Structure 1
Amino acid sequence: MTSLIQKYNIPGPRYTSYPTVPYWNENDFTTELYLDSLTRSFIESNVKEGISLYIHLPFCESLCTFCACHKRITKNHSHEEGYIQAIAREWQMYLEHFKKHTGETVNIKEIHLGGGTPTFFSPENLQLMMNSLLKDVRVADDHEFSFEGHPNNTTREHLQSLYDVGFRRVSFGVQDYDARVQKAIHRIQPFENVEKVHIAAREIGYTSISHDLIFGLPFQTIDSVRNTIEQTCGLAPDRLAFYSYAHVPWIKGNGQRGFDDQDLPSAELKRELYELGKDLFAQNGYIEVGMDHFARTNDGLCQAMHNNTLHRNFMGYTTTTTQLMIGLGVSAISDSWYGFAQNEKNLDAYLQRVNNGEWPLMRGHLLTQEDLIIRRHILNLMCRLHTGWRDESMQFTALNDTLSRLTEMQNDGLLHIDDNSLTITELGRPFVRNVCMAFDLRMLAKQPEAQLFSMTI
């Protein structure tokens, strides 16, 4: 395994979309064309499967130095009400658009609150925001509402307020319990805080609790990660995310320079940490799902994998497959399936445009027919570790060249190719991003001049 890591540990995307954001063709993008794609997707999918909403809540009281998300660091909670009002105005623009062009009532299947720190907002303001979003829509009976909770500031009131408006899944950002690691990443968070909020969520009735851990952080060792995982498994969350730390200080600037590069585990140790986690999770009854995720057999994520209904989008892995996902809030990305659009990344610019009644979109990409085919292949690989091209609709001009690029990986035992399909082996699971890169025609056509992505291992 060590030699394979040395061979394939290269920068690569995480493929929450295809094309990935750096390869969007922004020159052909217009708000009008994107809205046309949005209408098309809504007509095709709203009644049949519903739509997903992602709401980006960007505020954090302090900076975690491992974070690469779009956030605003502040202790001023007076920002809450104005931001919630902007979210409501932006959502109203979408509702009016769909009403005008289709006459249909919006059918909500999935909502996720991400950040930033969603629990920066008071329970009252979160409930106020949700009530305004759900006022003029239909909510599917089998909906899934989830949010990210910071264990240090998520209160029982937060959990109860969101439960009362339909939330049943929460993910707590744990990262690591080692004191030295926590100091380096500026995330001082004792086990007792996590235990308290986890137990409260159980008592209130949340049916899916997830803990997010990260491997590859500064000063992590085999023993420290083992201790973190053992404490985590002792609380028996329903699912776990075990993310590879994405060290991208060249993108996020000084925010990820709270430690020196030599404090990070080597690629070999980082892989050992992952294998340790994988073994310990299996011993505690967790099944590996897709990339970076583990779940108990009775959790929806594991069931979706077995039912071949696992889906992946900008929110990560999800049990609900919706063609249309709308992102609300600063920097949020929307996905009509036929196109992507990202909101203003600057908070003040976002607020100004929304409050002026403008669509706050700053850039996007309209997918070509070839993009759509490649997207389906990459989605299959990321969710099922398998894809095929027997059907003519899954064939594209450069297919043979793509398969040729995968010959060496097949010789290394990472995948198997037959006449009409490709399957990633158990040995190849850690290298799924590398396999997807062989399909990434846009990146292959324009190799980056500078490093854009974190390392794949």
Structure 2
Amino acid sequence: MQLIRKYNTAAPRYTSYPTVPYWDESSFNTDTWKQALLQSFRATNDTEGISIYIHLPYCEQLCTYCGCNKHITVNHGVEAPYIDSLLKEWSLYLELFKKRPRIREIHLGGGTPTFFSPENLHQLLSGIYMQADLLPDATLSFEGHPNNTTTAHMLTLYNLGFRRMSLGIQDFDPQVQDIINRIQPYETVERVTAAAREIGYTSINYDLVYGLPLQTITSVKDTISKVMQLRPDRISFYSYAHVPWVKGVGQRRYAEEDLPKDEEKRALYELGKTMFAESGYTEIGMDHFALPHDSLYHACKQGSLHRNFMGYTDHHTSLMIGLGASSIGDSWYAYAQNEKKITTWQQLVNSGQFPVVRGHILDTEDLLLRRHIHALMCGLDTRWTPDDNIDSVMEESLQRLTELEKDGLVDIQYGSVTVTEKGRPFIRNICMAFDARLWRKLPHSQLFSNAI
């Protein structure tokens, strides 16, 4: 418990390095982004293929816990114009590449992708496939809200090659659902899950969140017991990120006193971890659990687990294109984020401009530290050889790990750092030791959610 108090500090989740608040935008512009895209595309399209993240930002109501970029509306007239703009943005990348992309992975995220009608999702994906080659082992996944994910949605996407679905469950307790404004009965989730399996989906993920307002050991135990009855192939068990200074009115619906704190919050995670293990799930990286038949489990065991802005994936792709308002792309050598405001994003795309408004070009040091952080996040271990140049930035990182080693969280040997079983809950703190940009410019206010 003393370690929880000690290390429950603000820390990034490290879907990238450098993290977004530490991007150096002074050397970034649309031309440098295009150069980085071409560098990666020419080097990896024929071998790895590319990944595409498509941001579909609309939701019909506000879930107060949510930290995503979203737009609340019940006007479904926004769907068609948004789809048209997405396909125009895709055409900008096609014009740049001048060669058919080979697609390894597509993920539809939100917002609520199933806000869009099956017909509009079909138009979007057919338009993307028309000028690209979908690899035979491509991984296609979408996020769905149980309340509006219909059989028609699932059939349409299945016929387009989708085999993975992620449902936002969060919690089954009625009081918790009420305060986070996410009412979805167990029976609804059960019905959608059964329909997906009957259609042929091979990997169903449930998103659960611990640390939500009004959660207790008893309520979380009941939620997980219900989840175990439905037995999803994967589970994402996320720590609630309370950042009202960023997310505003939604997260101010409840008070700090409503939230489980420190040891109480960690106990919720340990309860979940124990119950998952007892039901045959294996912990994967950070916050994720999978059954032995799932590809995420196999990627973890084979050492091929990958992490990017989409989270953990079982395919490594150096190039990830982000389509849609606020999407982030990653060429491995550079990051770029699209304009967040939907109307402005559409204006840029419709006028034939890449809608990126900020980004970062990775330098040699960034690439070195990214490699080590990525290895720790995916494999809980990072290594280097005597031939590697261990410069001052690595020495500083190892010095920052000394205290964590004393606490038994890491094992440092000549040429390696390994996270111990005791250290797994503190992986964000461990990776932070390698975050040179953060340590050179410590924030004056809290930029990230707490690690625990």
Asked if TM exceeds 0.5, the reply is yes
Superposition pairs of residues 240-319 of structure 1, within 5 angstroms? 240-319=235-314
* Structure 1 position 401, deviation (Å): 1.7
Q: Deviations over 1:238-258 (max 9, x none)?
A: 000000000111111112112
SS at match of 1:139: strand
More displaced 10-residue stretch of structure 1: 250-259 or 19-28: 250-259
Match of 2:373 in 1: 378
The answer to whether 1:3 aligns with 2:18 is no
Task: Tell me how far apart the structure 1 counterparts of residues 366 and 436 of structure 2 sit (CA, whole Å).
Answer: 9
Q: Deviations over 1:381-429 (max 9, x none)?
A: 0000000121645744321221111111111110100011000000000
SS at match of 1:78: helix
Superposition pairs of residues 226-237 of structure 1, within 5 angstroms? 226-237=221-232
8 Å contact 1:370–1:396 — kept in the other structure? no
Task: Tell me how far apart the structure 1 counterparts of residues 254 and 375 of structure 2 sit (CA, whole Å).
Answer: 37
The answer to whether 1:143 aligns with 2:138 is yes
Instruction: Report the TM-score, using the length of structure 1 for normalisation.
Output: 0.98
Match of 1:426 in 2: 421
Superposition pairs of residues 45-444 of structure 1, within 5 angstroms? 45-99=44-98, 104-390=99-385, 392-393=387-388, 395-444=390-439
Match of 1:456 in 2: 451
Task: Tell me how far apart the structure 2 counterparts of residues 236 and 255 of structure 1 sit (CA, whole Å).
Answer: 31
- In structure 2, give the amino acid aligned to 1:185: I
Match of 2:24 in 1: 25
Q: Deviations over 1:257-296 (max 9, x none)?
A: 1211110001111100000000000011100000000000
SS at match of 2:47: helix
Task: Tell me how far apart the structure 1 counterparts of residues 32 and 392 of structure 2 sit (CA, whole Å).
Answer: 26
- In structure 2, give the amino acid aligned to 1:48: T
8 Å contact 1:373–1:393 — kept in the other structure? no
The answer to whether 1:38 aligns with 2:37 is yes
* Structure 1 position 316, deviation (Å): 0.3
Task: Tell me how far apart the structure 1 counterparts of residues 253 and 57 of structure 2 sit (CA, whole Å).
Answer: 21
* Structure 1 position 361, deviation (Å): 0.6
- In structure 1, give the amino acid aligned to 2:317: T
- In structure 1, give the amino acid aligned to 2:68: C
Task: Tell me how far apart the structure 2 counterparts of residues 338 and 218 of structure 1 sit (CA, whole Å).
Answer: 40
Q: For the structure 1 residues 394 and 125, does the alpha-carbon distance in structure 2 shift closer, same or farther, using more than 3 Å as the test?
A: farther
* Structure 1 position 34, deviation (Å): 1.1
Aligned residues: 452
Q: Deviations over 1:13-60 (max 9, x none)?
A: 000000000000011101101110110000111000100000000000
Task: Tell me how far apart the structure 2 counterparts of residues 59 and 40 of structure 1 sit (CA, whole Å).
Answer: 33
Q: Deviations over 1:106-164 (max 9, x none)?
A: 10000000000000000111111100011011111110000001000000000000000
Match of 1:16 in 2: 15
- In structure 1, give the amino acid aligned to 2:258: D
Spell out structure 1 runs of 4+ moving beyond 6 A. Answer: none
Task: Tell me how far apart the structure 2 counterparts of residues 188 and 33 of structure 1 sit (CA, whole Å).
Answer: 45
Q: For the structure 1 residues 440 and 203, does the alpha-carbon distance in structure 2 shift closer, same or farther, using more than 3 Å as the test?
A: same
8 Å contact 1:118–1:147 — kept in the other structure? yes
Unaligned runs of 5+ in 2: none
SS at match of 1:108: strand
Q: CA RMSD in A?
A: 0.8
Task: Tell me how far apart the structure 1 counterparts of residues 389 and 129 of structure 2 sit (CA, whole Å).
Answer: 37
SS at match of 1:454: coil
Q: For the structure 1 residues 397 and 430, does the alpha-carbon distance in structure 2 shift closer, same or farther, using more than 3 Å as the test?
A: same
Task: Tell me how far apart the structure 1 counterparts of residues 132 and 388 of structure 2 sit (CA, whole Å).
Answer: 35
Task: Tell me how far apart the structure 1 counterparts of residues 306 and 374 of structure 2 sit (CA, whole Å).
Answer: 8
Task: Tell me how far apart the structure 2 counterparts of residues 264 and 193 of structure 1 sit (CA, whole Å).
Answer: 27
Task: Tell me how far apart the structure 2 counterparts of residues 453 and 396 of structure 1 sit (CA, whole Å).
Answer: 28
8 Å contact 1:72–1:116 — kept in the other structure? yes
- In structure 1, give the amino acid aligned to 2:65: F
SS at match of 2:109: strand
Q: Deviations over 1:411-454 (max 9, x none)?
A: 11101000110000000000000011010000000001110000
- In structure 1, give the amino acid aligned to 2:207: D
SS at match of 2:64: coil
8 Å contact 1:388–1:394 — kept in the other structure? no
- In structure 2, give the amino acid aligned to 1:256: Q
- In structure 1, give the amino acid aligned to 2:200: G
- In structure 2, give the amino acid aligned to 1:152: N
SS at match of 1:340: strand
SS at match of 2:433: helix
Task: Tell me how far apart the structure 2 counterparts of residues 239 and 401 of structure 1 sit (CA, whole Å).
Answer: 37
Task: Tell me how far apart the structure 2 counterparts of residues 375 and 398 of structure 1 sit (CA, whole Å).
Answer: 12
Unaligned runs of 5+ in 1: none
Instruction: Report the TM-score, using the length of structure 2 for normalisation.
Output: 0.99
Task: Tell me how far apart the structure 2 counterparts of residues 434 and 179 of structure 1 sit (CA, whole Å).
Answer: 34
- In structure 1, give the amino acid aligned to 2:41: F
Task: Tell me how far apart the structure 2 counterparts of residues 205 and 82 of structure 1 sit (CA, whole Å).
Answer: 31
Task: Tell me how far apart the structure 1 counterparts of residues 31 and 390 of structure 2 sit (CA, whole Å).
Answer: 30
8 Å contact 1:5–1:267 — kept in the other structure? yes
Task: Tell me how far apart the structure 1 counterparts of residues 389 and 361 of structure 2 sit (CA, whole Å).
Answer: 19
